[in-house]
Structure 1
Amino acid sequence: MVSKIFSLLQFFTHFTITFASTEEATALLKWKSTLKNQIYFSSSLSFTITFASTEEATALLKWKANFKNQNNFVPFLEYLNLSMNNLSSTIPPEIGNLTNLVYLDLKINQISGTIPSQIGSLVKLQILCTFDNHLNGPIPGEIGYLRSLTKLSLGRNFLNGSIPASLGNLNNFVLGILINLNYLELYNNQLSGPIPSVLGNLKNLNELVLLNNNLPGPILSVLGNLINLNYLELYNNQLSVPIPSVLGNLKNLNELVLLNNNLYGPIPNMLGNLINLNYLGLNNNQLSGPIPSVLENLKNLNELVLFNNNLSGPIPSELGNLKNLNGLLLHNNQLSGPLPSELGNLKNLNDILNHLLLHYNQLSGPISSELGNLKNFNHLELFDNQLSGPIPSELGNLKNLNDLLLSNNQLIGSIPSSIGNLRNLQYLFLGDNNLTEESPSSFNLTSLKFLHLLRNNLKGKILQCLGNISGLQYVMMSHNNLNGELPSSICNLTSLQVLDLGRNNLIGAIPQCFGNMSGHLEVLDMQHNNLSGTLPTTFCIGSALGSFNLHGNKLEGKIPRSLENCKRVEVLDLGDNLLNDTFPVWLGTLPELRVLSLRLNKLHGPIRTLGSERMYPVLRLLDLSSNAFTGNLPTIFFQHFRAMRKIYPSKKRRSDERYGYYYENSIAVVTKGLELEVVRILCLYTTIDLSNNKFEGHIPSIIGGLIALRALNLSHNGLGGHIPRSLESLSSVGSLDLSGNHLVGEIPAQFISLTALEALSLYYIHLKGCIPQGNQFHTFENNSYEGNDGLRGFPLSKGCGNDGHDSASEETYTGSELDEESNYEFLNDFWKATLLGYGTGLCIVLSIIYIS
C-alpha cells in the first residue's frame, strides 16, 4: 500500500491529507464549497485517505487538478476531523457518500441544521462526535444502521424528539467478535419521550449520559442489564417513580447521578452492591425514608450527595466507615436524632471540594467533639437544626476550615477561645442561638470576612477586637447585650460593607470617622441602642451607603447636610431620637431614596420642597409622624411622589441566602395603637404617615392619585374641610386613618369601592350623614366612627331608614367586639397580607408586633 502526504495550502491552510487512492470524492468537495471563508483554524486538521494500489496513487495529480474546479474529491476517506474550527454551515446529505468513513469529528463548532438521514450509509463508522454545535431536529433513526459504532456523542446541541429505538441495534458481530456501542452521550439537548427499553441491549455500554433533557417517565429496569456500565448520568430530566433496585446489578458503576428529577420512594438497599461507586448523586428529588446503612459498603465512595429530598430518620453511624469520603451533603431533608460521633472518622475530607453539609434538618443533641478530628476539613455547615449544648472546643483543631456555620440552633455557653486558632476561617455564623459569652481571643481571625452573631445574648468587648481583622466585610451582631462605647478602631475596617449592631446596649457618641467609612460601607445599622451626641457629619462624595438606620437612640442636633452625598441610599431611618431641626428638603434630591422615616423627633416648621421635578423619584415609604411640623400640607410635595402613582409587581427575594449573610432592613409602622416592626425590605411597601403633627388646612385632593398606597395616616393633626372624593381612587389602600382632625361633611359614598380596605379610623372628626353601605364597610366596627355624633347607619345604632340596618341589634353584633387577642390576630393577618403586596426593589414581611 502506498501513502503520500500533500499540503494543499492554496485550498485548505493547515490541512494535512494522506492519500492512498482516488475515486468519487464529490461529496466532501460539495461540503467544502459550502464552507467558503468559514474555516478558522484553531488546530491542525487531518484528512486520511488510503489508496488500494500504486496505480490509483498515480491518479492523485489528476485529482489535484480537479480540485481547482471543485469537481471531484477523495473517495475512500476514513478519518475526518473538523473539530474546533468555528464552522457554521450545515451537514450536507452528501456526507452519506463517504461510505468508508471510520471517524467523523465535528465537535465544538457552530454547525446548525439537522443531522441528515443519509448518515446511516456510513456503515463503517466507529466514532461520531457532534457535541457543542447548534444542531436541531430529531436524531435520525438511520443511525441505528451504524452497526460498527462504538461512540455516539451528540451532546450540547438543540436536538429534540424522542431517542430512536433503533439505537438499540448498535451492535454487530465481525469475525465472531461482538462490536457494541461503548459510549452513548446525548446530554444537553431538548429530547423528550421515554427512554427506549431497547437500550438495555447495549451490553458493552460504558457510559450512558442523557442528562439535561426533558425525558419523562421511569428509570427502566432494563438498564440493570448494562453490567459493564461505568457512568450512568440521567440528571436534570423529568424522571419519576422510585429508583429501580436492579441498578444494584451495575457493579462496575463509578458514577450514578440521578439528581434534579421527580424520583420518590426510598433509596434501594441494593445500591449498597455498587462497590466501585465513586459518586452517588440523588439530590433534588422527592426521595423519602431512611438513609440505608448498607451504603457503608461503598468503600470507594468520594461523594454522597442526597440533599433536597424528604429523607428522615437518623444519620447512619455506618457512614463513618466510608474512609474515602470527601463530601457528605445531606442538607435540606428531615433527618433527626444526634450527630453520629463516627463522622469524625472521615479523615479523608481533605480536598478543596470537601464538605460536611447537614443544615436544614432536625438534628438534635450536642455537636460531637469527634468532628475535631477532621483536621483537613474545609466546610462545616450545621445551621438550622435543633442542636444543643456548648460549641466543642475541639473545633479549634480544624485548622483548614473556611466555613463554620452553626446558626439557628439551641447552642449555649461561650464561644470557645480555640476558635481563634482557625486562621483560615472566612465565614463564622453563630447567630440565632443562646450564646452568652465570648473570649476576645476568639476573634483573632485574620482571614475572617463574614461575622454573623446576631440574636444571641452576647455581652462584652467583642467590638474592641474587630479592628485588627482588616478583611472583614460583614459584621452582624444585632439583638445581643453588647454594651460600652463604639471603638473608633472599627473605622480601620476598610473592606467593611455591612455593620449591623442594632438592638444592643451601646452607649456614647458615634465616632465621627464613621462618616468617612461611607466610601465602602453599604449598611450602617445601630438602631435601638442608647447612643447619644450628634450624627457624623463627614459623609463623603461617592458614598456607597445604601441603608442608614439609627432609629431608637438619643441622638440630638441637626440632620447633617453631608447625607446629601449619599446618592445610593435607599433606606434612611432616623426615627425615635431627639433630633431638633427643620424639614431637610435636600433629602429629596437623593435618587435612590425609597424609605424615609424621621418619626418621633423634635422636627418642626413647615414642609418645604425644591422646585425641581426630580425630587423623591422613587420614594415609597414616608414617615414624618410625631413631630411638630406645621402649616398646610403642600400640594407640590405630593406631586413629587411618582413611584406611588404606579402599582409595581412584587419582586422575588434575592438569592444570596446560602449563608444567611444578607442584611435585612427593618422599619416600624403604626396603626390602631400598635407599632409593627417590619423586616426584609426587599420589595417595598408603600405608605405615608404624617400623623401626630400640627398640620392645618385641607387634605390635598392630589393624594388620590397615589394609587399604590397601602396605608395612609393623617390622624391627630388640625386638618379641616371635607374628605376629598379623590381618595376613592386609592384602590390598594389597606389602612386609612383620618381620626383626630377637624373634618366635616359626609363620608364619600364612593368609598365603597375601596375593597382592599381592612382598617378604617374616622373617629372624632365631626362627620355626619349616612355611612356608605356594602363591600368592606360591612366589616368595620363601631369604634371606627366613635365621636361622630352626626353619623348614622350600620354599624351604628342610628339608622338611615333605607340601609337595611335601622338598628344594631344585640344579635347582629354577637361576638363582634374583638377582644385583645382577636384584635391582635386581625391586625397580624392584615399586615401579613398588605406588607407582601407591591414594591419596586424592596419587599416587607411582618416580623414583630409591639404594643405602643
Structure 2
Amino acid sequence: MASYLFLCLFLFFPHLYASFSSSGSHSCSSLIQFKDSFSINQKRMLIYCCSWDGVTCDHLNAHVIALDLSCCWLYGNFPSNTTLFLLPHLQKLNLAYNDFNLSKIPSEFSRFTSLFYLNLSYTEFAGEVPSQVSHLSLSLAGCGLQGKFPKNIFDLPSLNLLNLLDNQLSGQIPRSLGNHLQLTHLDLSWNQLSGQIPLSILNLTQLEYLRIAGNTLEGSIPDEVTAFPNLIYLGLSDNLFNGTLPSWLYTAPSLKRIILSQNQFSGHIKEFQSKSLEMILLKNNKLQGPLPSSIFQLLNLTYLSLPNNLSGVRVIEFSMFSNLPNLKYLDLSYNSLSLTSNSTSRLKSLERLDLSCNKIEGKIPQWMQEVGNVSLTYLNVSHNSLTEVEYFPWKNIEFLDLSSNLIRGNLPIPASTINVFLISNNSFTGEVSSLICNASSLQILDLSHNNLSGTIPQCFGNLSDSLEFLNLKKNKFYGTIPTTFAKGCQLTTFNLNGNLLEGPLTPSILNCNDLEVLDLGNNKINDTFPHWLGSLPQLQVLVLKSNHMHGSLRINSSKSIPFFSKIQIFDLSSNYFSGPLPVRYINSFKAIINLEKIGSTVSYMGVNDPRSGFYTYSIGIVMKGQYMELVKIFTMWMIIDLSNNQFEGGIPKVIGKLTLLKGLNLSHNNLNGGIPTSIGNLTSLEWLDLSSNRLSGTIPNRLADLPFLSSFNVSENKLHGQIPQGKQFNTFGNDSYQGNKGLCGFPVSKGCNIIEPAPPNVLEKDGSKSNITFGWKVVLIGYGCGVVFGMSVGYVVFKTGKPKWLVNLVEIQHEKKRRRKSKDGSHSNGRRRI
C-alpha cells in the first residue's frame, strides 16, 4: 500500500521530482527518477518499480504497460503536465474512483498510441470526449456527465467497449450506434435516456453485453430472428418497454442472462430453445400464462423470477422446480398462486425464495420447511393466509418476512444468523423472548401490529452495534423504554407508538447519533419535554403525540444550541404542554426554513438493505383534518402539529420563516391575538388548522395567495371582518369558519356591509362642496343593498353632479333597513355578490 500511495503522489505532483527523459526509453525512469544529483541503479530500479501495487511491466523490454490508479484518493484538477503522459508504451490505464473536480478529459491521452483500455469511471471528469482518443475503449461510468447524449462518442471508429453507467445523460440514443460493428460491451444504464432503441442496434452482431436499464425508454425491442448471435447478457429492466418479447430472445445461442423486469411487456412467454440460460428475470410486466414447459428443462438455470399475475395459472406443483438442480433464486410472488407438493423437495441448494402475495393458506407446509434447510438465507412469504408456524427450521436464514398473514400463537425465534426479521400485521401473542438478542447481526426488526405483551427486552440495547430499524408499534408492551442503548448505537428509526409504556424517557437514546425517526406516540409516558433530544444531529421525525407529557417548551439556557436542526415532522399533539409556543425551536428548524440541505437522495425515508431493498419508514399523522397511516414518509414532508395542548399567548411571527412547511396544526389550544400575516410566506403550505383557540382580529388577505392551501380551519375563535375572497378560499366550506360570529362574506351566511367614509376632498378647505362625479366607491356602498341599487345611485350622482347623500350616511342606513323588511315580510341577510 505504501508503494501504491507513492506512485499516486509521484505521478500527479511532478514538481516534487526532477525532469524526465523525453525519449521514454526507460519507462521506470519516468516513474522514480529524482533530481540529477541522484544516481540510479537501472537494474534494481526496474525490479523495484514493477513490484509496486497497480503497476504491470513488460519485463522483456522494461516498459510499463498497465497502471491501476483506481481508488487513489486523488482530488483536484487533472494536471496537464502529469508524468503519467511520459509512459508511451502504456496499454491499459484505470483511473476510476478518483475526483478530478469536473476537469476536462485531456487530449494528451492521445500520446498513448498503444493504449486500448481507459477507465475513467466515477472520476468527475466533465465536458466532451476529445476526438484524439478515438482509438480507445471507454469506461465513463459515474463521471457526472450531464446534458444531451454525446453523439460524438460514436465517432470513435475502433470502439469496442462503452460504459456510461450512472450518469445524467438525457435525450435519445443516436442511430450512429449501429455503425460500431466491433462493439462488444455497451452499458448506458441509470441515465435519463428516452425514446426508442434505434433499429440500427441490430447491426451490432459482435455484441456480448447489452445493458440499458434504469431509463425511460419505450416502444418495442428491435426484432430479427438472427439478431445478436454472440449476446451473453441482456439487461433492460426498469424502463417503459412494451410489446411482445422479441423472437431472438428465445433462440440466441449464447444468451445466459435475461433481465427484463419492471417494464410493460405483454403477450405470452414462448418456449426457450437455448439451453445455456442461467438467469431469467421477468418480474413486474404484463406477461400472461401459461408457463412454458421449457423453463423446467433449463438445467443451468440459477435465477428465476416469473411475471406477476400470470393468467390461467392458479396452482403450481412446487416439485416441478426440483428438476432444476442449480436453482438458487426463485421468485413467484404476486401471482395469486396456491402451491402444493406431493413429494419432498430436492431443492437443497436454494438460497432465496420469494412466495409473497399469493394464496398460500394454513400452517407453513412441510415442503417449505425442507426447502434449502441449510442453504436458504432469504424467505419471503408475506401477504398470504398462513395461520400457524411452530418453529423456524432454516439454520442459516438471514432474511425472514412473514408479515401480513394470519399467524397466531407465541413468537418463535429464528436462527442467530438472522439480519432482517419482519412479522408485522399478524396475531402473535405472548412475550418476546430475550433469546432474540442472540442474533448479534440483527439490523431490521419489525414486530408491529400484533398482540405481543410483556416488557420490551432490555437486551435490545445490547444490539446497538447492529440494530438500525426497531418497530414495535401497535402491540401491548408495558413498563418502561429500554435504558441500555450503548455508545455506537446504530439505530436510525425507533418506533414504539401505540403501546402501554410509562415512565420518563431514557437519555441513553442520545447514544444513537444516527437516529432519524423517533415515534413514541400513543403511550402513557409521563414526563416533561425532553429538550435534550434536540441535540440528536440526524433527527428528522419526532412524534410524542397522545401521552401524558406536560410543562413548558421554554428553553432556559442562553446558549445558542442547534436544536432539531434537521427536523421535518414535529408532532407533540394531545398532551398537556403549556406556556408560549416554542419560538426558539421554530428558529432552529433549519430543514423547514430551507437552510439545512436535505441529504437524502431517495424520495422516501428509510433503510437500504442489500438483501431486501429499500425498507421505508411509516408514520401515523393527522393530515388535512383526517388521521392517516402513511406507509412511506416522503422526504419533502414538513409538518408541525402542536394541537390539543394548553399552549397560550400569540402565534409568533417567526413561524413565517418555515417556508417549506406543508402542514401546520395549532388547533385546540388557548392561543390569542391575531393571525400573523407572515403565514402568507408559507408558500408550500397545504393545510392550516387554527381552530378552537381564542384568536381575534381579521383573517389576513395574504393567505388567499397561498397556492397549495387545500384545507383551512379557523372555526371556534373570535375572528371578525370579511373572509378573504378568490383563489383557494373559494373552495373552503362554511365549517372552516363556524363559531366566529364576527366573520362575514362567502361562504358564511352573514353578508358584509362595506361602507367607505367620505374621502378627505369631499369638503374643500373653504367649506364648499366638491362636485365629485361617479366612482367605484359609490358602487361599493351598494354592496350591502344590492347591485341594482348601488349602480342606480351612482348613475344619479353622475347625471346631477349633486352627491348630497355622501354626507348623509344615516339616511342610507334607514333605506337599507326599509328594503330588508319589504321583502316578503322577512328580514334579508343583506348578502349580495358583485
How far apart are the structure 2 equivalents of 1:686 and 1:669? 12
Task: Give yes or no for the alignment of 1:382 onto 2:335.
Answer: no
Task: Give yes or no for the alignment of 1:427 onto 2:378.
Answer: yes
Which residue of 729, 737, 759 maps to 1:777? Answer: 729
- Match for residue 187 of structure 1? 161
How far apart are the structure 2 equivalents of 1:672 and 1:214? 42
Cα pair 1:89 1:112 within 8 Å, conserved: no
Which residue of 505, 508, 514 maps to 1:562? Answer: 508
- Match for residue 764 of structure 2? none
Q: CA deviation at 1:645?
A: 2.1
Per-residue CA distance 1:635-659 (angstroms, 9 max, x = gap): 3343443333227578433794886
Per-residue CA distance 1:238-266 (angstroms, 9 max, x = gap): 89556579879x7xx79474755958435
How far apart are the structure 2 equivalents of 1:258 and 1:483? 48
Q: CA deviation at 1:105?
A: 6.8
CA distance 1:43–1:540, change in 2 (3 Å): closer
How far apart are the structure 2 equivalents of 1:395 and 1:762? 67
- Match for residue 267 of structure 2? 313
CA distance 1:325–1:639, change in 2 (3 Å): closer
- Match for residue 483 of structure 2? 537
- Match for residue 839 of structure 1? none
CA distance 1:665–1:219, change in 2 (3 Å): closer
How far apart are the structure 2 equivalents of 1:793 and 1:278? 72
Cα pair 1:112 1:133 within 8 Å, conserved: no
- Match for residue 453 of structure 1? 402
Q: CA deviation at 1:581?
A: 2.5
Alignment-mate amino acid for residue 621 of structure 1: I
CA distance 1:435–1:805, change in 2 (3 Å): farther
Alignment-mate amino acid for residue 161 of structure 2: Y
Q: CA deviation at 1:452?
A: 1.8
CA distance 1:326–1:644, change in 2 (3 Å): closer
- Match for residue 503 of structure 1? 449
Per-residue CA distance 1:445-467 (angstroms, 9 max, x = gap): 22211112222222233x3232x
Cα pair 1:245 1:271 within 8 Å, conserved: no
CA distance 1:720–1:449, change in 2 (3 Å): same
Tell me, what secondary structure is at the counterpart of 2:336?
Answer: strand
Question: Which aligned pairs between 1:383-422 and structure 2 lie closer than 5 A?
Answer: 383=333, 385-390=334-339, 392=341, 396-421=345-370, 422=372
Which residue of 31, 37, 46 maps to 2:30? Answer: 37
Alignment-mate amino acid for residue 161 of structure 1: N
CA distance 1:358–1:658, change in 2 (3 Å): farther
- Match for residue 487 of structure 1? 433
How far apart are the structure 2 equivalents of 1:797 and 1:594? 43
Task: Give yes or no for the alignment of 1:216 onto 2:209.
Answer: no
CA distance 1:393–1:642, change in 2 (3 Å): farther
Alignment-mate amino acid for residue 375 of structure 2: N
How far apart are the structure 2 equivalents of 1:118 and 1:606? 72
How far apart are the structure 1 equivalents of 2:177 and 2:659? 53
Deviates more, 1:566-575 or 1:277-286: 277-286
Cα pair 2:222 2:246 within 8 Å, conserved: yes
CA distance 1:439–1:43, change in 2 (3 Å): same
Which residue of 270, 279, 285 maps to 2:232? Answer: 279
How far apart are the structure 2 equivalents of 1:413 and 1:527? 26
Which residue of 680, 686, 691 maps to 2:638? Answer: 686
Structure with the bigger RCO (C-alpha within 8 Å, sep 6+) is: 1
- Match for residue 536 of structure 2? 590
CA distance 1:394–1:482, change in 2 (3 Å): farther
Which residue of 107, 111, 115 maps to 2:92? Answer: 107
- Match for residue 101 of structure 2? none
Cα pair 1:633 1:700 within 8 Å, conserved: yes
| TM superposition score normalised by structure 2 | 0.69
- Match for residue 137 of structure 1? 130
Cα pair 2:30 2:83 within 8 Å, conserved: no
Cα pair 2:197 2:222 within 8 Å, conserved: no
How far apart are the structure 2 equivalents of 1:405 and 1:502? 21
Cα pair 1:287 1:310 within 8 Å, conserved: yes
Q: Which runs of 5+ in 1 are unaligned?
A: 1-27, 49-79, 96-103, 120-127, 142-151, 168-183, 191-211, 810-852
Q: CA deviation at 1:478?
A: 1.1
- Give RMSD over aligned pairs: 4.2
How far apart are the structure 1 equivalents of 2:119 and 2:613? 40
Question: Which aligned pairs between 1:540-555 and structure 2 lie closer than 5 A?
Answer: 540-555=486-501
How far apart are the structure 2 equivalents of 1:539 and 1:91? 57
Cα pair 1:575 1:600 within 8 Å, conserved: yes
Tell me, what secondary structure is at the counterpart of 1:663?
Answer: strand
Tell me, what secondary structure is at the counterpart of 1:712?
Answer: strand
- Match for residue 676 of structure 2? 724
Deviates more, 1:152-161 or 1:766-775: 152-161
- Match for residue 472 of structure 1? 418
Alignment-mate amino acid for residue 692 of structure 2: G
How far apart are the structure 1 equivalents of 2:201 and 2:677? 71
How far apart are the structure 1 equivalents of 2:340 and 2:785? 66
How far apart are the structure 1 equivalents of 2:306 and 2:580? 60
CA distance 1:389–1:355, change in 2 (3 Å): same
- Match for residue 371 of structure 1? 321
CA distance 1:805–1:219, change in 2 (3 Å): farther
- Percent identity reads 35
How far apart are the structure 1 equivalents of 2:486 and 2:86? 62
Q: CA deviation at 1:299?
A: 5.9
- Match for residue 83 of structure 1? 65
How far apart are the structure 1 equivalents of 2:138 and 2:583? 64
Question: Which aligned pairs between 1:142-157 and structure 2 lie closer than 5 A?
Answer: 154-156=137-139
Cα pair 1:245 1:268 within 8 Å, conserved: no
How far apart are the structure 2 equivalents of 1:703 and 1:766? 21
Which residue of 693, 696, 701 maps to 2:653? Answer: 701
How far apart are the structure 2 equivalents of 1:118 and 1:705? 57
CA distance 1:47–1:414, change in 2 (3 Å): same
Tell me, what secondary structure is at the counterpart of 1:515?
Answer: helix
CA distance 1:528–1:116, change in 2 (3 Å): closer
CA distance 1:360–1:389, change in 2 (3 Å): closer
Cα pair 1:138 1:160 within 8 Å, conserved: no
CA distance 1:629–1:395, change in 2 (3 Å): farther
- Match for residue 268 of structure 1? 223
Task: Give yes or no for the alignment of 1:766 onto 2:715.
Answer: no
Task: Give yes or no for the alignment of 1:518 onto 2:476.
Answer: no
Task: Give yes or no for the alignment of 1:645 onto 2:593.
Answer: yes
How far apart are the structure 1 equivalents of 2:587 and 2:560? 9
